Structure 1
Amino acid sequence: MIPDRCSIREEGKRCVNPPGFVVSVVSESDEYMIGVTCNKHRQAVTGKIGVLQGEGKIPSGKVNFEVLKAVGTDCVNGSCGDDLVQIDGIRNA
């Protein structure tokens, strides 16, 4: 699961914007997920990661921003009889 809001806090308050990017650091051998951010905070995240890399708290490597894409599904929404039978079957198991 991905958080429903940006990971950044400003003046102790969490950003209310939805995430637009998954932030990771790509090193020589691995990729490390750091968090999620909105477009507004993209530059701030880049700067903070640079500072943390300099302090050795985050592995060195390239900062990567992967665009999040919304995906919707109606495969189990309880609107048809088959869904209710499957849900009921799980509940009774």
Structure 2
Amino acid sequence: MLPDKCSVSKEGKQCVNPPEFIVSIVDDKDEYMVGVTCGRHKQVVTGKIGHLQKEGKIHDGKISFSPVKAVGTDCVHGDTDDFVQIDMNRSKN
């Protein structure tokens, strides 16, 4: 399960947009999920992660943005009531 809102907050107010990307750090051996973001905040997240990496507070590695995809399984059928707004027609950035 993912959060239903973008992870970015500004001036104490959380972004209300649904997540469009899973944000992770990829190094030689592993990938670490660090949050989710909407398309509008990709640059903000990139800058913040870069700053945290320079301070040694987060793993070094490449920042990766993977599009959020709707998935159905045996226990999650993917009925329309189950979905948070996901724009499947959005072009990849």
Give structure 2 stretches of 5+ with no counterpart. 82-93
Give structure 1 stretches of 5+ with no counterpart. 78-93
TM-score (norm: length of structure 2): 0.76
Equivalent runs, 1:30-45 vs 2, <5 Å = 30-45=30-45
| Moved segments of 4+, more than 6 Å | none
TM-score (norm: length of structure 1): 0.76
- Offset at 1:48? 0.4
The structure-2 alpha-carbon separation of the partners of 1:26 and 1:74, relative to structure 1 and needing over 3 Å to count, comes to: closer
Residue-pair matches, total: 76
Contact (CA 8 Å) 2:70, 2:78: kept in 1 or not? no
Q: Aligned-pair RMSD on alpha carbons?
A: 1.8
1:4 paired with 2:4, answer yes
- Offset at 1:74? 5.7
2:11 maps to amino acid: E
- Offset at 1:55? 0.4
Structure possessing the higher radius of gyration over alpha carbons: 1
Contact (CA 8 Å) 2:71, 2:78: kept in 1 or not? no
1:66 paired with 2:84, answer no
- Offset at 1:69? 1.6
Q: Kindly indicate which of the two structures has a greater share of residues assigned to helix.
A: 1
